[in-house]
Each structure stands twice: as structure tokens, then as C-alpha cells.
Chain A
């Protein structure tokens, strides 16, 4: 997938390393540009895990404080952003575990069943242009926030922060297969939720045509399957 906005705003990783070196050499002011480069990612991942701004803010602060205090433990063979993201996710997961309303196991279990899309109408050609910038932000953010947390974190880490499947799975402490299954469901749920706003309202004529096509396809597929047996 094309990166519209790389997580570290397109600034090369080497710049992170230079800033880290400066901080370790005693120039504490160099930590501030390092924070500026990564605050958005840290905010998003903590929000992904925790689901509300208040907790995300607290954990974001703790993450940067911890990163500053343990900067000498950063191993240069890893990317700074990966190291920092891991701290952020660990802090967020720890915070979440202190909450009383833990995610019921049943929610994780439902991931095994396939999610069935309910909306099958095409979308307008550029649906986002029908809304003001602020409104489209609200629509997207509300849809993401409404995802159950195991899907929300998979979606944000993979599709917004663009971690690869292995990185995201490792960060969340789950298998790659589980990550992929959650991501699929998250994407389908997001599609379903946005369809309400973005669909082209069907006319009676298109409804009739679509029904006829769908019925025809189903019949054709059954016939093909029967013929293949």
C-alpha cells in the first residue's frame, strides 16, 4: 500500500540516530526534536490500545520519559521508531491491564468466525469530497474508535502506522496468523461502517438489476460447482 504519510514524516532514520547520539553525549535539548518526530506515532499507538485520549495522553508522556531515561539501552541495530513503538505499546498494554473492564475473552473468540459483509452497494466516486475536512476526520476517527479493541489496534498498527505484519504481531504479543485474521475483520468492519456514509443511494432500477445479477451469479456458481463434481 502506498504510504501517504510515513509515520516519521519521511525523515530518514539516520537523523534519529544522530539525535540519539547527541542526547547520549549530554545534549539533552536534542531529545525535543526526537519527540517532535515521533509524538504522532506514539499517540496513535497508545490510542489504538487504550481507545481514549486521556489514557493515551498519560501513556504517551510516560513513554517519552521512559525512552529518555533508558536511551542508553537503545541498540542501534534496531530502528529507533521500532524501539520507541515497542515501549509505547508495552506501556499501553500495562495500563490497559490495570483497568477493571478487561476485554471479555468472548470478543477475541468471535474472530474465529468469518465476518459477513452486509452492504453491497457501490460507493460514490469520491465520497470523501462530499464532506468538509473536519467532518471526514470525525467520520473516520469515529469508525476506528468504534472497532472493538483487538481489531482497532491491529488496524492502526498495520494500516495507519504501517508496521509490517511481523512487527505488529510482535508488538501486540500475538501470532502473525492472529494479527492477519484480526486485520481482515477490522478492515471489513471499517468498510461496513463507512459504507453508511459513502454508498451511492441505489435507485429502484439498480436495486432490481443488482438483485437479478446476484441471483443469476448464485445460480451460475451452483451449476459450476455441480458440474465440477
Chain B
């Protein structure tokens, strides 16, 4: 099995998180992060960042923005 260095891990990080890549590539990445603390931290915190961001559900439509949208649509919908 081909060994990965830190650069390879970084290049394939997204791919791994998204569940892509061959079994061989995934195993090589797992093997690297099990022995490299820095890569382990980067992998772990990137995964956690994604969970936190999706859990937070950012960018609500501000009420005033929504109100102006419906006001404009009201006009458009009532056009003949």
C-alpha cells in the first residue's frame, strides 16, 4: 500500500470527508492520520467545522428582506 505524506492527506481531505475515493486511498489516509497528530487535528476539526456550520443553519432571511420580497411579489401577482 502506498504511504501518504501530510501533503497527500491535505489534498485528499475533502474527498475523504465526502465519502469519495478508493478503499486503498481511504485506508492510506486513515493510516497516516492515526500516526500524525497534526493531520489528525486538521481532519477532526474540519469535520467538526462542517457539523457546526450545518447545525447552525446560517443566513436566515432577515424579516425586513422577506417583507419587501412579498410586497414586490404582491404587485407582480396582481398584474393582469
Contact = CB atoms under 8 A, between A and B. Distances in A.
- Which bracket fits the contact residues of B? 35 or more
B48 A123 contact: yes
A183 interface: yes
A163 interface: no
- Which bracket fits the contact residues of A? 35 or more
A194 B52 contact: yes
A103 B77 CA distance: 36
B14 A183 contact: yes
* Among B14, B18, B38, B55: residue with most chain A CB under 10 A: B14
Interface in A190-229: 190-191, 194-195, 198, 210, 213-214, 217, 220-221, 224-225, 228
A151 interface: no
Interface of A: 1-5, 28-29, 31-32, 35, 39-40, 43-44, 47, 53, 57, 60-61, 64-65, 68-69, 114-117, 120-123, 127-128, 136-137, 140-141, 144, 159-160, 165, 180, 183-184, 187-188, 190-191, 194-195, 198, 210, 213-214, 217, 220-221, 224-225, 228
A187 B16 CA distance: 13
Interface of B: 3, 5, 7, 10-11, 13-15, 17-18, 35-38, 41-42, 44-46, 48-50, 52-62, 65-66, 68-70, 72-73, 76-77
Given A40-B60, A68-B76, A224-B3, A191 B52 contact: no
